[in-house]
Amino acid sequence: MKRSKAMRLVLVGSTPLMLAGCGQSHPGYLYRSEASCIAAGVFSGSVCQQERAQAESVHQRHAPRYLNQQECEADFGAGGCEPIPGAGIQHRATVAGYLVGREPYPDAANRGNGRLFTSQPLYRAQDDLQYLRSACNRRIGDHEGPVKVSMADIRTPASPLVSRGGFGAGAYRYSNCGS
């Protein structure tokens, strides 16, 4: 059998396995601030600080970006956007909370440090103030504490500029999340 034909068979055969992981939900913990994470008492202060810093790092690289403040505020409301340092007039959504991607009491035998996924920044959309959303515009939760999330909800998008308009084009088609 030719090598290219064998490779296609391997890829086709592995597709169901790759897709099976997409629908699984994982536990996460939603917090609006580092202080509320600490006050909840689920994680230590140092873990809350580390996870918030990790979410902030993801935010710096992957937050929804806009050409100007008006377009950004159309999606995130007045005060829901911030200028991007060193990017001229570009703006991005402001972090409204973060999703901790680890278990509070890791089982050393099975999970090492308890890490399930990279902690993520969360945003508040102008048209849905109740829920915090991922950078892919997926609802994550409306309350602090434990939540269930799928990997599709929290995958880290590429971060091209978001463009508005054109026959009802999605007001905020965040980055490049595939939806």
* Cβ proximity of 102 and 111 under 8 Å: no
Higher pLDDT, 179 or 25: 25
DSSP letters for 71-129: HHHHHH-TTSEEEPTTSTT-EEEPP-EEEE-B-SS--HHHHTT-B-S--EEEEEETTEE
Sign of CA dihedral 166, 172, 176, 179: negative
Exposed/middle/buried for residue 165 (C-beta within 10 Å: 0-12, 13-18, 19+)? exposed
pLDDT confidence band for 12 (50 / 70 / 90): very low
How many CA atoms does the CB half-sphere of 39 hold within 13 Å? 8
* Cβ proximity of 25 and 123 under 8 Å: no
Cα–Cα distance for residue pair 63/130, rounded to 1 Å: 20
Q: What is the largest CA-CA distance in the chain?
A: 62
Report the mean per-residue pLDDT for the chain: 78
Q: Which tens digits make up the pLDDT trace of 126-173?
A: 888 899 999 888 999 999 999 999 888 887 666 555 655 533 344 444
